[in-house]
């Protein structure tokens, strides 16, 4: 047997596959139908200070190459998470990584402090794709605001690993990834959904209940691979900061691409909607691939892409 375990932000996980934020609820639903097998950890949907009902329907539509969503960070809010949900998340058979979000630094701080106070939480993913109430721009869009947010959260997370989740960045090298690492990120998750739109040509309306949303699935996979490869080669690799590659993984080959590009772990989102049992199939494929490459552990293949 080859070794597929890995470490992300101080958290040791038995499988490099992680359920992506917002695509596995709080992990409890997948656990109840025995669909956590093959996964090393599960990210919860992003938790905000106040409960959020989310956007009006349609929130999810299918695309030729994946799906488009505008869920709007629907979640129970911090208080209900702590009192009603956290104990179930704590008892999952694999580690859960809460994802947090907010519209102001103060909101993020309060949610982060509550996570820090729960002993079972070893790492938190910070979703920085939320628009700041002050200027409507996502935190990840402004390097200054991103730095202020993350430096603040770094102070809050004393014993908790800070994973920063970034959207696709066309800049090279990624400014946001540099800022995240300089601000003390223990790991990066790359990438979030890609801003996108789909129009019903009969009604001439957006197919979502709002103007636009975020695309996920196979169509975004090569964009995510490029970003992981660039960030690993230029910033995260030299700094020793692990990456969770995320975006469009449907088959073991997609996961293997992320590993070669420099990811230490691989997220699965849209794939779980298609087939919640996909992780165990992907894991089996990875096992064979690692062995076929003549390696004892998947770690040997992280960033092992050959130069052109």
Ligand X SMILES: Cc1cc2nc3c(=O)[nH]c(=O)nc-3n(C[C@H](O)[C@H](O)[C@H](O)COP(=O)(O)O)c2cc1C
Active site residues: 130
**Secondary structure, 3-state, the chain:** CCECCEEECCEEECCCEEECCCCCCCCHHHHHCCCCCCCCEEEEEEECCCCECCCCCCCEEEECCEEEECCCCCECCHHHHHHHHHHHHHCCCCCEEEEECCCCHHHHHHHHHHHHHCCCCCEEEEECCCECCCCCCEHHHCHHHHHHHHHHHHHHCCCCEEEEEECCCCCCCCHHHHHHHHCCCCEEEECCCEEECCEECCCCEECCCCCCEEEECHHHHHHHHHHHHHHHHHHHHHHCCCEEEECCCCCHHHHHHHHHHCCCEEEECHHHHHCCCHHHHHHHHHHHHHHHCCCCEHHHHCCCCCCC
165 versus 207: smaller Cβ distance to ligand X: 165
CA distance 264 to 256: 10
Least separation in angstroms between residue 126's CB and ligand X is 9
Q: By CB under 6 A, name the one of 217, 245, 262, 303 that touches ligand X.
A: 217
Least separation in angstroms between residue 308's CB and ligand X is 26
Residue 248: phi and psi, rounded to 5, are 75, 20
Least separation in angstroms between residue 294's CB and ligand X is 29
CA distance 63 to 197: 10
Q: By CB under 6 A, name the one of 160, 208, 243, 249 that touches ligand X.
A: 249
Structure tokens at 228: 């992981």
Residue 270 contacts ligand X per CB under 6 A: yes
Contact range with ligand X by CB under 6 A, out of 29-37, 103-111, 215-223, 281-289: 215-223
Q: By CB under 6 A, name the one of 27, 245, 247, 303 that touches ligand X.
A: 247
Q: By CB under 6 A, name the one of 132, 174, 206, 216 that touches ligand X.
A: 216
Residue 193 contacts ligand X per CB under 6 A: yes
CA distance 248 to 138: 23
Residue with tokens 């070794």: 3
60 versus 118: smaller Cβ distance to ligand X: 60
Residue 140 contacts ligand X per CB under 6 A: no
92 versus 164: smaller Cβ distance to ligand X: 164
> Between residue 60 and residue 119, which ones bind ligand X under the rule CB under 6 A?
60, 67, 69, 71, 73, 99
Residue 207 contacts ligand X per CB under 6 A: no
Instruction: Give the CB-nearest residue to ligand X.
Output: 22
Count CB atoms within 10 A of the CB of residue 217: 23
CA distance 200 to 218: 22
Contact range with ligand X by CB under 6 A, out of 32-40, 82-90, 179-187, 244-252: 244-252
Residue 48 contacts ligand X per CB under 6 A: no
110 versus 293: smaller Cβ distance to ligand X: 110
Least separation in angstroms between residue 246's CB and ligand X is 5
Residue 150 contacts ligand X per CB under 6 A: no
Q: By CB under 6 A, name the one of 18, 21, 176, 236 that touches ligand X.
A: 21
198 versus 293: smaller Cβ distance to ligand X: 198
215 versus 298: smaller Cβ distance to ligand X: 215
Q: Which residues bind ligand X (CB under 6 A)?
A: 20-23, 45-46, 60, 67, 69, 71, 73, 99, 127, 165, 192-193, 216-217, 220, 246-249, 268-271
């Amino acid at each position: 047997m080859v070794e597929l375990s890995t470490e992300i932000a101080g958290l040791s996980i038995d499988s490099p596959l992680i359920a992506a934020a917002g695509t596995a609820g709080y992990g409890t639903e997948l656990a109840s139908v025995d669909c956590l097998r093959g996964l090393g950890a599960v990210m919860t949907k992003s938790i905000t200070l106040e409960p959020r009902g989310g956007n009006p329907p349609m929130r999810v539509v299918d695309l030729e190459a994946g799906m488009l969503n505008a869920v709007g960070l629907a979640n129970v809010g911090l208080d209900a998470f702590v009192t009603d949900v956290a104990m179930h998340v704590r008892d999952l058979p694999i580690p859960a990584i809460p994802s947090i979000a907010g519209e102001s630094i103060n909101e993020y701080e309060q949610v982060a402090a509550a996570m820090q106070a729960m002993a079972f939480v070893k790492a938190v993913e910070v979703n920085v794709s939320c628009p700041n109430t002050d200027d409507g721009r996502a935190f990840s869009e402004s390097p200054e605001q991103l730095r202020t947010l993350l430096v603040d959260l770094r102070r809050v997370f004393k014993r908790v690993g800070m994973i920063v989740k970034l959207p696709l960045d066309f800049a090279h090298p990624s400014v946001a990834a540099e800022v995240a690492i300089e601000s003390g990120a223990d790991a990066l998750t790359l990438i979030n959904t890609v801003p996108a739109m789909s129009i019903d040509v009969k009604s001439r309306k957006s197919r979502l209940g709002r103007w636009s949303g975020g695309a996920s699935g196979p169509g975004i996979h090569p964009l995510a691979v490029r970003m992981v490869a660039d960030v690993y080669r230029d910033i995260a690799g030299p700094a020793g900061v692990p990456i969770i590659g995320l975006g469009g993984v449907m088959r073991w080959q997609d996961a293997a691409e992320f590993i070669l590009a420099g990811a230490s772990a691989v997220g699965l989102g849209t794939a779980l909607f298609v087939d919640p049992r996909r992780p165990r199939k992907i894991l089996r494929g990875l096992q064979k691939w690692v062995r076929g490459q003549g390696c004892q552990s998947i770690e040997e293949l992280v960033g092992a892409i050959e130069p052109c």
